[in-house]
Structure 1
Amino acid sequence: MTRIYLRPTAFVDAPFGLDGQVARLAGGLVWFSAVELIRVESGRRSLELVPVADMEGLLPTLGADTAQAWANLTSPRMPLTLGGRTIRLDQPQVMGILNVTPDSFSDGGAHDDLARATAAGFAMAEAGAALIDIGGESMRPGAQAVWEQDEISRVIPPLRMLAGAGTAISIDTRKAAVMEAALAEAPVMVNDVSALSWDPRAAEIVARSGAPVVLMHHQGTPETMQQNPVYDGPVLLAVYDWLETRIAAALEAGIRRDRILVDPGIGFGKTVQHNLDLMNGLALFHGLGCPIVLGASRKRMIGALSNEAPADQRLGGSIALALKAMEQGAQIVRVHDVPETVQALKVWRGLRDAALTPQS
């Protein structure tokens, strides 16, 4: 059996004068002029660089699945709707991380108090975060599971205050009871690090509510995920295939495709090399037809590449990874340092706007 993957590459500044030679990536602000065609047959992998101009003629020979992947690459993503809030996905957006846990890897205990948590959430929203992602269970390597009622008691008070003031909220949980409690308070997005695989009720809750959901790739549990993670073949393709199966499971459960987002799960059962491969090949995941969420902020890979810098000294690396994601069309970057990332995004957007302004 032969499987073909399409990775957009050869990005260009603007499409002007290049009709038929470039394609717009997922309806965003990025154009590409070539596709890396990755062919896997009987365990052997071959690569071919195909100009966009040749894709229309080549597609009929590549099969229906590849034609669908091409359609996914070149189709716009629908905006997120959370109650009265609309978040456009034709441009990158910033999601602010609000950990209300005593043991988060990056800021453990900093927001373990309602006043501090809500102040931090409002500050991130004021600084330009489109969404605030509230989490009450640490997913750091080695972390132990939290009882669902403890998690609910941590996340609901700040969620209630932030959502009540009109802030768009994402709830970072793998537990159906926490999802239910959050959805009872406000229209929220569900961000599940287990991709709806940890709690058997989770998919039903999301489907019934109509909430958007982020399906994140992981390998193992927080307790074990960084104990020598190994993949059968290139990690980029393994993660793509896994997310494809989770999308199919979500659709089977009744979740609409336009409510599904995907996250490759940087640092969740990956070595530094795995993470770097995923970052370099991130554009491949547009072939799944869902918006991409990228959460690499303050991750261990940054420390590994910068003299073991501690988590609170990884701002530069976090911004570098956020920009790398934006350059490959990622729709949402999930970050701790919102003002600095929003500033980087504004400069990136200024460069894109200038390139996309026709010159007289």
Structure 2
Amino acid sequence: MRRPRLRVVPPGAGMLAAEPEAPFIVHVAGERELLQAVTSALGLGVDLRQEDEAVVAASRRDLERLATALEVEGAEAGRRLRAFLWPVRGWRLRTRVLPLERAVVMGILNLTDDSFSGDGVGRDVAAALRAAESLRAAGADLIDVGAESARADRPVLEPAQEAEIVARAVEALVREGHAVSSDTYKPEVARAALAAGAELVNDISGLTLGTRAAAEAARAGAGYVLNYSYSVPKRRPDSPPVYEDVVTETVAWMEERLEMLWEAGLEREQVAIDPGIAFGKSHDEDLQMIRRIGELGTFGMPLLLAHSRKNFIGSVGGLPPAERDLETHVVSALAFAQGVRIFRVHDVAGARRALEMAAAVAAREAGAFAPGEGSWPWRAGASAAHMTRAEPAIAPPPGQRW
């Protein structure tokens, strides 16, 4: 099994809330002797039982000390650990930066008639504008526009044809003030969409077709989504992929592909990482990936989850795609608690509600929803004897905290 140079397993949000010094588990491949010497000097432990990697368990504060000491020694692990400890705070797109303190919701707009979930609007630009306005009104930050179904059983569009369809729609959407993402792996389409005003390229290819689409994003100063993919788009491999540890191997895959993106001219703030749910994994492996998606935070870069209505949900509950929004929002909330901040969904309004609650539980400081002045006197001294009427004697105050 190929291992990444660095992989961080973070403690859960609940553990960190209860114990700020809770340990992170850091796996480091290579540099074993140097790591042993540096951790010894810092009074930290290191586990060298595995031949090909060392493991350090330490609090964030101790990891900051470790990163600094390793960087002084010129160790690659120090640079990588620093990237994790000081992550990107805003996703830089072509004309704007999206802060990542809150959830970013990407609404799906399919310019197709063969979407797997049956929600495509076809080639009608007026219909696309209506759909986009509904998504924006529901709380979408981005409109992700695609003109070709990712399904392997649907036709591949010629690049020139797809570029024309996408450019026409993107230009109209941008004119109406929408921030647009171009869902394409074809450089010709990416170029046309960016020229029409798109903010980023959402590339499902995982660089299996090269870095030309990524280079278009770099040339335009736009954002880019690196999506895990086991094979080229719209083609299923003859044999199913075999993973020893799907999450560790995905982290290693990302590490390799990110180097390719830097060579193509992209910068860390421009790139979001997508684990590629439904791209070269069984449904069980999709669930494993979501269960441990926080490990993709190793790179300290924006994390995007494109899981909406996908078939792993059908394997769990047996429902058809159009009836999977509730399960989608459950997964979104669980992923938010692990550090994911960008969500590509069909039901934007439901996503916003779920993510607002997830943020309240997993990311807000103690006291954020504490009672304010005047909240305690409401119904003070109430007892069962007071509840003989259908309505309370005193209406609850707005934002009631008791």
Q: Report TM bin, short chain.
A: 0.7 to 0.9
Matched, 1:225 2:236: yes
Partner of 1:343 in structure 2?
353
After TM superposition, the structure 1 = structure 2 runs for residues 243-258 of structure 1, keeping only pairs within 5 Å, are 243-258=254-269
Preserved contact between residue 142 and residue 222 of structure 1 (Cα < 8 Å)? no
Deviations 1:40-90 (A, max 9, x none): 687878977544455356655899344334322221424234455442122
After TM superposition, the structure 1 = structure 2 runs for residues 312-351 of structure 1, keeping only pairs within 5 Å, are 312-351=322-361
After TM superposition, the structure 1 = structure 2 runs for residues 241-320 of structure 1, keeping only pairs within 5 Å, are 241-306=252-317, 308-320=318-330
Partner of 2:206 in structure 1?
195
Aligned partners of 1:268 and 1:243: how far apart in 2?
14
Shift of 1:356: 5.6
- Residue identity opposite 2:226 in structure 1: L
2:82 aligned residue (71, 93, 98)? 71
TM-score when normalising by structure 1: 0.85
The DSSP-based 3-state class of the residue aligned with 2:23 is strand
Aligned partners of 1:252 and 1:4: how far apart in 2?
20
Aligned partners of 1:108 and 1:44: how far apart in 2?
48
Deviations 1:88-127 (A, max 9, x none): 1222211111111122211254444222221111111111
Partner of 1:26 in structure 2?
none
Preserved contact between residue 87 and residue 301 of structure 2 (Cα < 8 Å)? no
Aligned partners of 1:14 and 1:46: how far apart in 2?
24
> Residues 228 and 333 (structure 1 numbering): CA distance in 2 closer, same or farther, change over 3 Å?
farther
1:55 aligned residue (45, 63, 73)? 63
Deviations 1:13-37 (A, max 9, x none): 8769x6xx34xxxxxxxxxx33233
Shift of 1:204: 2.8
> Residues 338 and 111 (structure 1 numbering): CA distance in 2 closer, same or farther, change over 3 Å?
farther
Matched, 1:152 2:163: yes
Partner of 2:25 in structure 1?
36
Deviations 1:203-226 (A, max 9, x none): 332221111111111011344337
Preserved contact between residue 141 and residue 226 of structure 1 (Cα < 8 Å)? no
Decide which moves more: 269-278 or 148-157.
148-157
Matched, 1:210 2:212: no
Deviations 1:215-253 (A, max 9, x none): 111011344337553234211111111111111111112
Preserved contact between residue 13 and residue 355 of structure 1 (Cα < 8 Å)? no
RMSD of aligned alpha carbons: 3.0
Decide which moves more: 113-122 or 335-344.
113-122
Partner of 2:10 in structure 1?
8
> Residues 207 and 86 (structure 1 numbering): CA distance in 2 closer, same or farther, change over 3 Å?
closer
Preserved contact between residue 330 and residue 354 of structure 2 (Cα < 8 Å)? no
Partner of 2:148 in structure 1?
137
- Residue identity opposite 2:131 in structure 1: A
TM-score when normalising by structure 2: 0.77
**Which of the pair has more CA radius of gyration?**
2
Unaligned runs of 5+ in 2: 30-48, 372-402
Aligned partners of 2:131 and 2:102: how far apart in 1?
25
Aligned partners of 2:359 and 2:183: how far apart in 1?
28
Matched, 1:162 2:173: yes
Aligned partners of 2:62 and 2:216: how far apart in 1?
44
Partner of 2:43 in structure 1?
none
Aligned partners of 2:368 and 2:77: how far apart in 1?
33
> Residues 208 and 46 (structure 1 numbering): CA distance in 2 closer, same or farther, change over 3 Å?
closer
- Residue identity opposite 2:12 in structure 1: A
Equivalent pairs counted in the alignment come to: 346
> Residues 273 and 228 (structure 1 numbering): CA distance in 2 closer, same or farther, change over 3 Å?
farther
Preserved contact between residue 80 and residue 88 of structure 1 (Cα < 8 Å)? yes
Task: Flag the structure with higher strand content.
Answer: 1
Shift of 1:329: 1.0
